[in-house]
Structure 1
Amino acid sequence: MKLAEALAQRSAAVRRVEQLRTRIVGSARYQEGEEPAENAAEVLAQSGEVLDELERLIRQINRTNSTTLIEGGGTLTDALARRDVLRLRHSVITAAADAASGRDQRGAVRQLRSELRILSALPVAELRAQADVLAKEIREVDALIQRTNWEIDLIED
Structure 2
Amino acid sequence: MRRAEALAERSEASRRVQQLRARVISNARHQEGETPSEDAAALLAEADQELDSLEALIRRINLTNSATEVVGGGTLTDALARRDVLRLRHSLLTAAADAAAGSGGHGRQLRSELVMLSALPVAELRRRADEVARDIRGVDTLIQRTNWEVELLA
d(CA) in 2 for partners of 1:109, 1:7: 47
d(CA) in 2 for partners of 1:67, 1:90: 28
Residue correspondence of structure 1 range 95-110 to structure 2 within 5 A: 95-105=95-105, 108-110=106-108
Structure 2 counterpart of 1:138? 136
Structure 2 counterpart of 1:79? 79
Matched, 1:118 2:116: yes
Q: Percent identity?
A: 66
Residue correspondence of structure 1 range 3-152 to structure 2 within 5 A: 3-105=3-105, 108-152=106-150
Residue 111 of structure 1: CA displacement?
1.3
Q: Which structure 1 segments of 5+ residues have no match?
A: none
d(CA) in 1 for partners of 2:51, 2:44: 10
SS of corresponding position for 1:53: helix
Moved over 6 A (4+): none
d(CA) in 2 for partners of 1:115, 1:42: 66
Amino acid at match of 2:121: P
d(CA) in 2 for partners of 1:38, 1:3: 35
Residue 116 of structure 1: CA displacement?
1.5
What root-mean-square deviation, in Å, do the aligned CA atoms of Structure 1 and Structure 2 show? 0.6
SS of corresponding position for 1:140: helix
Residue 121 of structure 1: CA displacement?
0.1
Structure 1 counterpart of 2:152? 154
TM-score after normalising by structure 2: 0.98
Q: Which structure 2 segments of 5+ residues have no match?
A: none
d(CA) in 1 for partners of 2:81, 2:67: 14
Amino acid at match of 2:87: R
Residue 114 of structure 1: CA displacement?
2.8
